[in-house]
Amino acid sequence: MKSAVLKNGKITIINKEIPTLEKTEGAIIKVNACGLCGSDIVKINHSTPSNENKISLGHEIVGTIVDINVDITGNGAKTPFKKGDIVAMGHHYPCFKCKYCTHGNYSMCETFKNSNIHPGGFSEYIYADVNHLKNTVFKKPENISEEEFSFLEPLSCCIRAIKRSGLEFNNKELNKTYNALVLGLGSIGILMSEALKAFGAKTSGFDINPERQAFIKNFGIDFDKNIKYDLIFMTSGANKAIDSALNLIDKGGKIIVFSSIPDDIKGYNNNEIYYKELSIIGSYSPSPDDLKMSYEFIKTGLVNVKNISTTYKLDNLEKAINDTKLGKILKGYIEL
């Protein structure tokens, strides 16, 4: 089968053996397509000759179960998985027992960090183990496209960040008192904006790219530079976004850090945090419950994930990556 790997810092398509269930339990999924995540590009940018063979690329998968040897009903499903099911999935699961899990920090769990799909979503076939099937794999609803379903995992990451901000989905009366701003309007910024609207917050978005600022208006999102914001979601990976956040945050506000930046030195000013009683909150990756909420949002049309992706074939993955880096596209959707 074809599989995309890093060799000397470059994307290379190689042939690998198709995974089987001969000595293990779980499912083999034929990957129909996989979204290109910004974290894939970060991995590539930070790869070295010594670690690139350990890097797994691609996790925003939609595919078809072609082999399964367990009887498992997935998270929120009514019937067990079977051959022919079209599914999307998250790529990590927690242990639910450690200190981090009991404190709600599932993505800090060692089991979470060490679990992954193999060999990666930019491969024609992957193996999903029993715990993936129980916790992170979902059957495609008939009313949505495979491309829409590929947003299951990235949308769940946004839902996780919103929950970390303190908003509760079933408390819309309180949520609507919050002015929320998304800084950075790439594909994740759009998803974050859509999810914030679903939670009921008053939602704005800003990007220094005027084309992206204009595009977000298609989602009913605008920006008012003359107000202060209670919640700011950092979906931009630029150093100067930190300065923008500190200028726009209101007293007692929360800044949710949802992106890495190139500079390990640049950070949030201590006295700004102290005198304004700001909260700086990190949010990294979703729990199974966040995936389940994402599934419901997409299935019911509560969020709009249409017209965000640009389709490429696997052999053109390098071009999709370069087009993303250059800002020519919002999101690469890689068909296999």
46 pLDDT band (50/70/90 cuts)? confident
Cis peptide bond prior to 288, omega within 30° of 0 = no
Per-residue pLDDT reduced to its tens digit, 128-146: 999 999 999 999 999 999 9
Q: How many CB atoms lie within 10 A of CB 73?
A: 12
Angle, CA 54 vertex, CA 48 and CA 56 arms, to 5°: 105
Homologous superfamily of domain range 2-151+308-335: Medium-chain alcohol dehydrogenases, catalytic domain (3.90.180.10)
The pLDDT of residue 76:
81
The pLDDT of residue 90:
95
Q: State what percent of residues in the chain have pLDDT above 90.
A: 87
pLDDT of 54 > 90? The answer is no
The pLDDT of residue 332:
97
122 pLDDT band (50/70/90 cuts)? very high
Q: How far is CA 6 from the centre of its chain?
A: 21
Span 204-228, average pLDDT: 94
pLDDT of 119 > 90? The answer is yes
47 pLDDT band (50/70/90 cuts)? confident
261 pLDDT band (50/70/90 cuts)? confident
What are the DSSP calls for 143-187, one per residue?
TS-HHHHTTHHHHHHHHHHHHHTT--TT-HHHHTT-EEEEE--SH
Instruction: Quote the mean pLDDT of the chain.
Output: 95
Per-residue pLDDT reduced to its tens digit, 24-40: 999 999 999 999 999 89
298: part of which helix (H) or strand (E)? helix 288-300
pLDDT of 264 > 90? The answer is no
Span 71-78, average pLDDT: 91
Span 210-224, average pLDDT: 94
Span 52-58, average pLDDT: 87
pLDDT of 237 > 90? The answer is no
pLDDT of 50 > 90? The answer is no
The pLDDT of residue 81:
98
Q: Is 143 exposed, middle or buried (0-12, 13-18, 19+ CB in 10 A)?
A: exposed
Q: Give the start-to-end residue ranges of the domains of the chain.
A: 2-151+308-335, 157-282
Span 15-20, average pLDDT: 96
Token pair 């979601």 in the structure block, residue: 233
Homologous superfamily of domain range 157-282: NAD(P)-binding Rossmann-like Domain (3.40.50.720)
pLDDT of 265 > 90? The answer is no
Which residue pairs from 271-275 have beta carbons closer than 8 angstroms and sit at least 24 positions apart in sequence?
272/246
